[in-house]
Structure formats: C-alpha cells, structure tokens
Amino acid sequence: MKENGTEASTEQQVRALYEQVESRTARAFEDLVEKPSFGALLATSAENMAALTRVGSDLADLVVRNLRLAGRADITRLARQLGRTEDKLERVLQEVEALRDELAARTREADRE
C-alpha cells in the first residue's frame, strides 16, 4: 500500500515541477516579447522572408527561361493572342453565314423568275 502512496506523491512532485517549469518558461517568453528588440527582430525576419521569397521566384523564372520553357509571361501573351484569333474567327464565321443567307435569298429569287 505504501507503494501506491509513493507513486502518488512522486506523480504530484512531477506535476508540481512541470507546472513550475511551465510558469517560468511563460514568464521568460513574456519578458522576451515585451522588449522592443523583439519587435525589431520580428520585422527584420519578415523582411528577410519576403526578400527570400522574391529571390526564389526570380530564380525559378530564370531557370524556366534558360530551359526555354514557356513561363508565366509567355503563357499570358499566348492567351491574349488566342483570344484575338478566336474573335477574328467568330467574325469570319458570321460573315460566311451572312453570305450563305444572301446566296440562298438570291437562289430563291432566281427560282421564282
């Protein structure tokens, strides 16, 4: 029976130590975050991450360009050209239909005469 009491007291001691460590760690982090230098460090880190992201993007574009693969700008330009070509084709189709209608009307008039 003493063993259960010993286990319980050991468990309580471990919990108490854990809570002390947790509260001390929380206080240490709060002290760290309160300082103005932490804000400056955070801002500098964010700027560095943005710069690294930009460098990475530029590097990826350079690799794609050097591999002679179509990049974003190429695909956008091709999409615009395709849109213009589709518009022109639609206008030609409308003209062909109008000419068919005109030819059919002339054929009917010729058949009447």
For the stretch 69-105, what's the b/e string if a residue is b when 16 or more beta carbons lie within 10 angstroms of its beta carbon?
A: eebeeeeeeeeeeeeeeeeeeeeeeeeeeeeeeeeee
Instruction: Specify if 12 maps to a domain.
Output: no
Whole-prediction pTM: 0.41
Quick one: average pLDDT of 8-29? Answer: 91
**How many CA atoms, within 13 angstroms, populate the side-chain half-sphere of residue 88?**
6
Instruction: Specify if 57 maps to a domain.
Output: no
Which tens digits make up the pLDDT trace of 66-100?
888 877 888 999 999 999 999 999 999 999 999 99
Range(s) of the domain holding residue 86: 72-113
The answer for residues whose C-beta is within 8 angstroms of residue 38's C-beta and 6 or more apart is: 32
What pLDDT is stored for residue 1 in this prediction?
A: 44
Tally the domains of the chain.
Answer: 1
Instruction: Specify if 4 maps to a domain.
Output: no
Q: Which two tokens stand for residue 19?
A: 């809570």
Instruction: Specify if 86 maps to a domain.
Output: yes
Instruction: Specify if 109 maps to a domain.
Output: yes
Quote the percentage of the chain above a pLDDT of 90.
58
**How many CA atoms, within 13 angstroms, populate the side-chain half-sphere of residue 50?**
6
CB 32 within 8 A of CB 38: yes
